[in-house]
C-alpha cells in the first residue's frame, strides 16, 4: 500500500507532477466543488474507490442514484468507456484495469438497501427541533419532554413514543410547568403537528429499532479492502431537512462513539457528503456551531469528512477553514454570486506564481480541477491544474437484480431488515392510562355501590323505625286492652257498684234518721243499719 491516493497529473507542470492525497493527512477533511457537469461525481467515485483499495472504509451519499455502480467493475461496453481509457493513459496509469469494490447498500426507507434507524432519544431535542423547524419556545417544551422521559425511565424509540410523551405533557402541563418551566398545550400541539408532517414525509422509517451500530460502517472484506457504504439518497433528497439532519446525526454518533486516535497512518473512516449546502441552509447559529465543532474535533477520531457542493461559498467560513484537501472543478461566472465564489475559491489556495487561479477556474475542462492537498508536514501544496484520474468501477447505477445480489451477500444481511418494536414510552404510558382508567372506573363503581348501599341502609333504617313505631303502638294498644276488665267482670263490677250505691244510700238514710230522729220505722231501719254494721264488724274480726 502506498502512502497516498493518486488523484491525477498536474497538467501545467513541466514535469507532469503527480497529485496524491496523503493518507496520513486524509483525516484533515476536504472539499470537492464545481458547477454541474464538471466531473465532481467522477472525482468522488475515483477517490472513494482508492480509499477502499487502501483498506479505508468509506461512506458516500448517492444523491443522483448513479454512485451504486461503484460496487461493479467498469466495462468497455459502457458509456464513455473509451474516454476513461484515454484519460488513464494521459495521467500515466499504465496498469489501468476495471475492478469492483466491496459495497453495502443503505436506505433510510429500506427500499434500496438495509434500513438505517436511530432512536428518538439518540437523535435528541436539538436535532429534532432543527428537523421540525421549531422555534426557541417549542424547542424548550420538547427538551422538557425528553428530560421527563429520561427521569421516568421512559424509552423514546420511535415517533409513536414521542407523540405519546407529548400527549402526556399536554395532559399534565400544570404539573410539568411547576417543575421544569412553562409548558403550554399550544406549543405541544405545534410539535405534534410537525411530527405528523415528518411522519408523512417518511421520517417514521428513520426512527426505531434495531438502531444502527456505527461500527457496521467500519468494515473490511477478506482482501483487506474497506467497504464502501452507499446511502441511497435520491428519494431522501425530497426531504432536505431529513437528509441534512441525518448526516449531522451520523457525524455526532461517530464523534461520541469512536475513540481518540490522533493522526493515524490512514483514516478509520472517510465520509463524502454530497449536496453539502443542505447541511447549512437556514440552519440556526447553534446548529452551525455544532457542525463546526464536530468537524473540527472528529479528525482526532480518525474520521475524514469531504464535502461535495457546487459552490465553495456554500460552506460557512468556520467549517471551510477546517478543509485542508481541496479539489476545485470549473465554476461559471454568470452571476455576481458566481463571481464572488470564483474570487473566494481562488483566495483559498496556496498561490502558484505560474497559474492565474481565478482565470483557470472558469477555463477548466470536464475532468480537470485545481488541486491543493496537505503535504507530509501538514502544509497545503501549491495549487496545480490537474487532470483527474478515472475510476475503475462502473460509471452508472446498478440494476435491481445486481442490487439484490449485493444485498444478499452483505456482511450485515438480516441484521437491520426487520423492525423491532419493544416496550417503550408509548406502551408504558398507554398501560398507565389504561390502569388509571380502570382504577377510575373501579372507584366510580365503588362510589356508586357505596351510594346505593347508603341509600338502601337509609331505606332500611326508615323501615326499621316505622316497624319499631308500629310495634310500640301495638304493644301500647295491647297493654290498654289488657288493662280493660272482661264483660263479666264489668257486669259484676257494675252490679257491685250499683249495689254498693243502693246500700250506701240506705245506710246514709238510716244514719241520718238515727241521728236526726224519725218515725216508728226508725227502729226497723236502725235494726237494719245495726245489722249491717254488725255484719261488717263481724267480718273484720273473724
Give tens-digit pLDDT for 427-463: 999 998 888 888 888 889 999 999 999 999 999 999 9
CA–CA distance, 199 with 162 (Å, rounded to integer): 12
- Kindly give the interhelix angle for 173-180 and 159-171, rounded to the nearest 10 degrees: 90
Q: Of 225-229, 274-278, 454-458, 477-481, where does the model show the most confidence?
A: 225-229
Q: How confident is the model at residue 520 (pLDDT cuts 50, 70, 90)?
A: very low
Q: How far apart, in whole angstroms, are the C-alpha atoms of residue 286 and residue 508?
A: 135
- What pLDDT was estimated at residue 505? 67
- The per-residue DSSP string of 34-102 comes to --TTSSHHHHHHHHHHHHHHTT--EEEEESSS-GGGGGSB--TTSTTHHHHHHHHHHTT-TT-------
Specify the pTM. Answer: 0.79
Q: Would the pLDDT of 169 be above 70?
A: yes
CA 445, CA 528: separation in Å to the nearest integer? 93
Give tens-digit pLDDT for 353-372.
Answer: 989 999 999 999 999 999 99
Question: What is the per-residue pLDDT for 337?
Answer: 83
- Tell me the percentage of the chain whose pLDDT exceeds 70: 88
Please tell me the predicted confidence (pLDDT) of residue 151: 94
Task: Quote the pLDDT of residue 333.
Answer: 81
- pLDDT 10s digits, 78-93: 878 888 999 999 999 9
Cell of 303: 474520521
User: What value does the mean pLDDT of the chain take?
Assistant: 87
Q: Alpha carbon 432 to chain centroid distance?
A: 19
The DSSP H or E segment spanning 431 is helix 425-483
Element (H, E) at 114: strand 114-115
pLDDT reading at 3 higher than 50: yes
- pLDDT score recorded for residue 522: 44
Between the CA atoms of 500, 502, 506 and 512, what dihedral angle is there, to the nearest 10 degrees? Answer: 80
Residue 410 has pLDDT above 60, yes or no: yes
**Rounded percentage of the chain residues whose pLDDT exceeds 90:** 59
The predicted pLDDT at position 335 comes to 85
Average pLDDT on 6-26 reads: 85
**Mean pLDDT, residues 315-320:** 90
- The model's pLDDT over 242-296, given as tens digits with 9 standing for 90+, comes to 888 888 899 889 999 999 998 899 999 999 988 888 888 877 777 788 888 889 9
What is the strand order of the sheet 4-10 is part of?
Answer: 18-22, 4-10, 384-388, 368-372, 325-328, 30-33, 303-309, 269-273, 58-62, 228-232, 103-107, 114-115
Position 64 scores a pLDDT of 86
How would you write 243-275 as a 3-class SS string? Answer: HHHHHHHHHHHHHHHCCCCCCCCCCCEEEEECC
Across 47-67, average pLDDT: 94
In a 3-state reduction of DSSP, which class is residue 532? Answer: helix
Q: Give the model's pLDDT for residue 509.
A: 67
Give Cβ neighbours of residue 182 (< 8 Å, ≥ 6 apart).
140
pLDDT recorded at residue 536: 54
Nearest residue to 29 (alpha-carbon basis) of 232, 224, 316, 304: 304
Report the distance separating Cα 372 and Cα 360, nearest Å.
14
pLDDT on residue 490: 67
Instruction: Return the exposure string of 261-291: e unless at least 16 CB atoms fall within 10 Å of the residue's CB, then b.
Output: eeeeebbbbbbbbbbbbbbbeebeeebeebb
Amino acid at each position: 500500500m502506498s502512502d497516498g491516493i493518486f488523484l491525477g497529473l498536474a497538467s501545467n507542470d513541466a514535469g507532469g507532477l503527480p497529485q496524491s492525497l496523503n493518507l496520513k493527512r486524509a483525516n484533515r477533511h476536504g472539499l470537492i466543488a464545481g458547477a454541474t457537469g464538471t466531473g465532481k461525481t467522477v472525482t468522488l467515485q475515483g477517490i472513494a474507490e482508492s480509499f477502499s483499495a487502501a483498506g479505508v472504509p468509506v461512506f458516500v451519499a448517492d444523491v443522483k442514484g448513479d454512485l451504486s455502480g461503484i460496487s461493479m467493475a467498469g466495462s468497455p461496453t459502457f458509456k464513455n468507456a473509451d474516454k476513461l481509457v484515454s484519460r488513464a493513459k494521459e495521467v500515466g496509469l499504465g496498469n489501468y484495469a476495471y475492478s469492483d469494490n466491496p459495497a453495502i447498500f443503505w436506505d433510510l426507507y429500506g427500499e434500496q438497501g438495509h434500513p438505517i434507524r436511530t432512536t428518538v432519544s439518540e437523535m435528541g431535542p436539538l436535532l429534532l427541533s432543527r428537523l421540525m423547524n421549531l422555534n426557541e419556545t417549542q424547542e424548550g417544551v420538547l427538551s422538557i419532554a425528553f428530560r421527563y422521559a429520561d427521569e421516568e425511565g421512559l424509552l423514546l424509540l420511535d415517533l409513536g413514543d414521542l407523540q405519546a410523551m407529548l400527549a402526556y405533557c399536554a395532559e399534565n402541563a400544570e404539573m410539568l410547568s411547576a417543575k421544569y418551566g412553562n409548558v403550554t398545550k399550544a406549543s405541544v400541539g405545534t410539535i405534534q403537528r410537525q411530527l405528523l408532517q415528518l411522519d408523512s414525509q417518511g421520517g417514521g422509517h428513520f426512527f426505531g429499532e434495531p438502531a444502527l451500530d456505527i461500527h457496521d460502517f467500519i468494515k473490511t472484506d477478506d482482501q483487506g479492502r474497506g467497504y464502501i457504504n452507499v446511502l441511497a439518497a435520491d428519494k431522501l433528497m425530497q426531504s432536505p431537512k431529513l437528509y441534512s439532519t441525518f448526516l449531522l446525526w451520523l457525524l455526532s454518533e461517530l464523534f461520541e462513539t469512536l475513540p481518540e486516535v490522533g493522526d493515524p497512518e490512514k483514516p478509520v473512516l472517510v465520509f463524502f457528503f454530497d449536496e453539502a449546502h443542505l447541511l447549512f441552509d437556514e440552519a440556526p447559529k447553534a446548529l452551525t456551531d455544532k457542525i463546526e465543532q464536530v468537524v473540527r474535533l472528529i479528525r482526532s477520531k480518525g474520521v475524514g469528512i469531504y464535502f461535495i457542493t457546487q459552490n465553495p461559498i456554500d460552506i460557512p467560513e468556520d467549517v471551510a477553514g477546517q478543509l485542508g484537501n481541496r479539489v476545485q472543478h470549473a465554476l461559471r461566472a454568470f452571476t455576481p454570486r458566481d463571481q464572488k465564489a470564483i474570487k473566494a475559491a481562488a483566495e483559498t489556495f496556496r498561490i502558484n506564481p505560474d497559474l492565474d487561479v481565478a482565470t483557470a477556474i472558469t477555463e477548466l475542462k470536464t475532468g480537470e480541477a485545481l488541486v491543493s492537498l496537505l503535504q507530509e508536514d501538514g502544509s497545503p501544496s501549491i495549487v496545480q491544474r490537474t487532470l483527474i484520474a478515472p475510476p475503475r468501477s462502473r460509471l452508472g447505477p446498478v440494476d435491481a437484480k445486481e442490487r439484490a445480489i449485493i444485498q444478499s451477500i452483505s456482511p450485515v444481511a438480516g441484521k437491520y431488515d426487520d423492525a423491532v418494536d419493544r416496550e417503550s414510552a408509548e406502551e408504558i404510558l398507554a398501560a398507565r392510562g389504561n390502569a388509571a382508567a380502570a382504577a377510575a372506573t373501579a372507584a366510580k363503581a365503588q362510589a356508586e355501590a357505596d351510594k346505593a348501599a347508603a341509600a338502601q341502609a337509609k331505606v332500611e333504617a326508615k323501615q326499621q323505625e316505622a316497624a319499631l313505631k308500629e310495634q310500640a303502638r301495638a304493644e301500647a294498644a295491647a297493654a290498654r286492652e289488657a288493662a280493660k276488665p272482661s264483660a263479666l267482670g264489668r257486669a259484676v263490677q257494675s252490679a257491685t257498684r250499683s249495689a254498693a250505691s243502693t246500700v250506701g244510700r240506705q245506710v246514709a238514710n238510716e244514719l241520718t234518721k238515727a241521728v236526726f230522729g224519725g218515725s216508728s220505722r226508725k227502729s226497723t231501719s236502725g235494726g237494719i243499719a245495726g245489722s249491717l254494721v254488725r255484719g261488717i264488724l263481724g267480718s273484720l274480726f273473724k
